[in-house]
Structure 1
Amino acid sequence: MDLCYLDACEVLKHYKSGKISPVEVLQAHIERYEQVGAEINPFTQRMFERALQQARAAEQAYQRKKARPLEGVITAIKDETYIRGEVTTNGSRLLQNNIADVTDPVPERLLAAGCIFHARTATPEFSVASYTWSDLWGVTRNPWNTDITPGGSSGGSAAALAAGLCTIANGTDMGGSVRIPAAQCGVVGLKASHGRIPEIPPYNVDPYVHHGMLTRSVRDMVLLYNLISGPHPVDLMSQMAKEPVASVPLDLRGLKIAVSLDLGFFSLDDDVRSNTLAYAETLRGLGADVELVTLDWDARCIRTAQIHQGAQMGHMLREKYDRAEYHDQLTSYVKHYFSLSSAASPQRILEANDYAQHMWQALEKVFQTCDFLLCPTVCSTRVPADFDYSRDTLEIDGVEVDPVKGWFMTYPFNTLSRCPVLSVPSGFAANGVPTGVQLVGQPYADTRLLQLGLGIEAELGVFLHAGNRPLDLQVVKA
């Protein structure tokens, strides 16, 4: 049994039967980390000794038949997520001694359900990049090809999950920060409809901001969604009726799925294009009615997202850290981000809001006749691990693209934040890096989207359960 690649549903089944214990699984993850951790660099902090004590307690809870829903599930937590009393650096040298005085709703619920947090995962400074490196923690690499980025900003979480260093991991998503690394690392990532999963103030009031999870399977995502979603006292935006998802796969026969390869303006690597078309053809073979559609979006999508993020997150960060005495401690890309975000004038904010409405009207026309939209998650799998959008250029399919946002297709659905999006693997690129597709649901239709994912997974199996492993890693067995 491959302990490092069991999904949470399998782990829990085996814990309950007594076939394996939380201690054995944690020890397997630690052994794997000792083999490959230095090469991938996914963790900022390791709490292995504390976790071993918690795993022994979880083992006893199963023996006493007192286990909680996620008792003993080994979980990596992004080093942006607040846990009271613990250091949270967000990848910044300015915050390397920052102690959180609150706990975010998602880790609060994971802890209450019995998860064991054994490590904190790397993020770019202040989570403002789609790659994962910082001056504080160094470069995090893709376990499938260490020359390539695992994506960001939840890159450490996705890399750890793909490398077999945890059973589940969390992430946050303001422009794709869960879905980009999910695609790059061959795992599953969800951006729920805004408000479905609670977030801590003041981030909860920004509709672009979502807390989420990274998993090996859609069934794990359903399990976790049901535990972490729903109203929370600190989050006004979460005060809507909880909508539990039944683990019932959606029948693909007769479903209408629209496919957009470029969302109107993105350039794609050939292998991303071919894998997306092949995935669409697979869905057609499973009975779905699949059709190519055209969206009239253009590069104003980039500007819309940049202006919004500059007015919200960018403004908050500039107020705190855009000071002369801090500049020599900031990464090059954060200083560039400050420069870009300072352009968010009231007039440009109004223009961005107008274009966001145009984006929705175009997508709403698609949803008049189709149940879901399918598109790639990232445009290229060739972005280097040490890429820096403040200095580097990027070319895709012979076209030079915006180095900040030109290589991933996620942020339009942060603009349209009430649409849930599930990123799932679609295959491999020529360089060995996974590719992914986004399944986009209608506003607040999280249940139906997750059940679509379950339906596809029931037919195709789980990407990381089908003999697919980063090629240079050894399997830890029991």
Structure 2
Amino acid sequence: MRARISPTCPHRASWNCSARASCLPSTCWKRRISQYEHHNGLVNAVTFTHFDKARAEARESEDRWRRGEARPLEGITCALKDEHHEAGMTITSGSALLADQVKDYTDEVTALLKDAGVVTHLQTTVPEFYLIGLTHSVHWGVTRNPWNLSFTVGGSSGGSGAALAAGMTTLATGSDMGGSVRLPSAFCGLYGFKPPYGRVSTELPLEQYAGTGPLARTFADLVRFQNAMAGPTTYAPMTLPKQTLPLDYDGVNGLRIAYSPDLGLLPVSVDTREVAGAAALRLQELGAEVTGIELDLGTSMDDLADMFFRAFWAGSMGGALEQLSDHTEAMSPYAAAIFDMLKTSRYGGADNAAFELWMRRLYTRLVDQVWNRGYDVLVTPTLADSHVPADFDPSLHSFSIDGVPAHPQFTAALTAPWNILNSHPVISVPAGRTGRGMPVGLQIITAPYADELAFRVAHAYELATEPLFTAGARPDYRSA
């Protein structure tokens, strides 16, 4: 007799099962593998598969359910970004130069997820050394968007976003140093969370500006996933005490929300403004007081990019990559261009000091224009435009947003300020789709460490909107 696994999932026996599915783990696993077999040839989201291991893990999970010993994510499929790993997995960082790098240990976030019961069956693609907000490389090729194969999935957690949107997995890990969780979430119609500094253990260099975060198709899955990966680990002394987020929240009635359509940094497409603006109005209809503001952060995108690169190259990331700087002939063009910049620039302690002062001025302006004016939440589009070509290379190509040249490095990303100001929790939620069917994301930003408030707004918004990944609103792998 089939064991009753868990409360009935609203997507029972469907393509879009959630992290609280009623099906057997082996059935869930088989569905994900079927989606991989049907669609990975189109989207190219996967580096390595671990199907035999996953089959054994799914059987073990079924036994746990039958014994009444199920863990929080028991038997749920989880794809790992080509950064997170179990012992024995190959981590290439998207580069042929690291094609044979096999890890002899399990990183701490992956260990937490395994302890929670996930089945890890796929590793997913990234851009070379995680250096751009798109996902393609000489080594792994181009990763394409299931909603439209012509367009990018974002990056650097782009393979995780594509695998989720294509139904190859129920959950997927990401990390975020300039938007690398939120960009794929927005491009692929997903929920993604950039936790504040210290909320989740990370092995990333410059951890004060970077961190690991969850991607999921539903709000509830995002909460369960975040709860599983949050909290202290043995070798991460800067990680905060564990926070467990609830699944249900009060509405947004009475909240004061500031809406900025562009952060004063990038041109934003008409499509994006319409969809994101409508999402902000929906929050007003739910009882929040929503006010459009012209945010002035006292910087331009050029200055932000310059300070961003100075700080990163002067710090541990530049030091870690410098040993590869004599091998640019084997790199993707964008990676070679960035390494050439590293070799010809002299970044050091003075650059770090200048960055620290600049960052404090940036934070002061944000506080004075948002929190000190009585706003509880800031919302803004995640992307300036969803229609970036899948193979776009910022070192070779240019991109315009409604005829206005985009920034040469950040292209369509409105995410980077919140890594520089990394104590702010930020959730990207799917706000709708453009006229060409591409998803649009909305960032929900709160004051430092006010995670529950960000999730409260995201929860209210999800309850009031038509979800993606249901019949009639599912990726169709078109090519425009």
TM-score (norm 1): 0.92
Query: Equivalent residue for 1:464?
Result: 469
Distance 1:397 1:362 in 2: 29
| SS of match in other structure, 1:84 | coil
Q: CA deviation at 1:466?
A: 6.6
Displacement of 1:417: 0.2
Quick one: which of 129, 136, 141 aligns to 2:139?
A: 136
Taking the TM superposition and a 5 Å limit, the aligned residue runs for 1:109-128 are: 109-128=112-131
Query: Does residue 404 of the first structure (1) align with residue 409 of the second (2)?
Result: yes
Paired residue for 1:434?
439
Q: Which amino acid aligns with 1:99?
A: V
Aligned twin of 1:156: 159
Question: What residue is the counterpart of 2:215 in the other structure?
Answer: 214
State whether residues 424 and 445 of structure 2, in contact with CA within 8 Å, keep that contact through their aligned partners in structure 1. yes
- Residues 295, 362 of structure 1: 8 Å contact kept: no
2:208 partner SS: coil
Corresponding position of 1:320: 323
Counterpart code for 1:392: H
| 2:48 and 2:124 in contact (8 A); partners too | yes
Shift of 1:467: 4.2
Shift of 1:2: 4.8
Question: Residue 226 of structure 2: SS of its match in structure 1?
Answer: helix
Change (3 A) 1:461 1:244: farther
Counterpart-to-counterpart distance in 1, 2:52 and 2:14: 19
Report the secondary structure of 2:215's partner residue: strand
Tell me the alpha carbon deviations over residues 202-240 of structure 1, each in whole angstroms, 9 at most, x when there is no partner.
Answer: x265311110110111211211222211122211221x3
Tell me if structure 2 keeps the 8 A contact 1:47–1:119: yes
8 Å CA contact retained: 1:40, 1:146: yes
Q: 1:61 is matched by which residue type in structure 2?
A: R
Is 1:358 aligned to residue 361 of structure 2? Answer: yes
Residues in 2 aligned to 1:314 and 1:386: alpha-carbon distance in whole angstroms = 25
**Is 1:175 the counterpart of 2:178 in the alignment?**
yes
Give the SS at the match of 1:157.
helix
In the aligned structure 2, how far is the partner of 1:248 from the partner of 1:32?
A: 31
Find the residue that maps to 2:193 and give its secondary structure. strand
Distance of 2:452 and 2:232 partners within structure 1: 16
Give the secondary-structure state (helix, strand or coil) at the position aligned to 1:237: coil
Deviations 1:62-93 (A, max 9, x none): 12222221110011001122322211111111
Deviation at 1:341, TM superposition (A): 4.1
Cα contact 2:328–2:339 (8 A) shared by 1: no
Question: Which one of 19, 24, 33 corresponds to residue 21 of structure 1?
Answer: 24
Aligned partners of 2:340, 2:231: CA distance in 1, in Å?
Answer: 37
Q: Could you tell me which of 382, 385, 403 is aligned with 1:377?
A: 382
Structure 2 match to 1:145: 148
CA–CA separation in structure 1 for the residues paired with 2:356 and 2:340: 21
Q: 1:194 to 1:120 in 2, by over 3 A?
A: same
1:372–1:440 CA contact under 8 A, matched in 2: yes
The answer to whether 1:37 aligns with 2:48 is no
Measure, in 2, the Cα distance between the counterparts of 1:464 and 1:139: 23
Q: Structure 2 unaligned segments of length 5 or more: list them.
A: 1-11
| 1:64 matched to 2:75 | no
Unpaired runs of 5+ in structure 1? 15-19, 474-478
Per-residue deviation, 1:465: 4.2
Moved more, 297-306 or 158-167: 297-306
Cα pair 2:329 2:336 within 8 Å, conserved: no
Structure 1 ranges of 4+ moved more than 4 A: none
* Higher deviation after alignment, 105-114 or 412-421: 105-114
- Residue equivalent to 1:3: 14
Identity of aligned pairs, percent? 35
Aligned to 1:193: 196
Structure 2 vs 1, CA of residues 100 and 167 (structure 1 numbering), >3 Å: closer, same or farther?
Answer: same
SS in 2 for 1:422: strand
> 1:234 corresponds to which residue?
235
- Partner residue in 1 for 2:264: 264
Letter in 1 for 2:233: H
Whether 2:310 is the aligned partner of 1:307: answer yes
Change (3 A) 1:401 1:345: farther
Q: TM-score, normalised by structure 2?
A: 0.92
Q: Distance in 1 between matches of 2:259 and 2:429?
A: 15
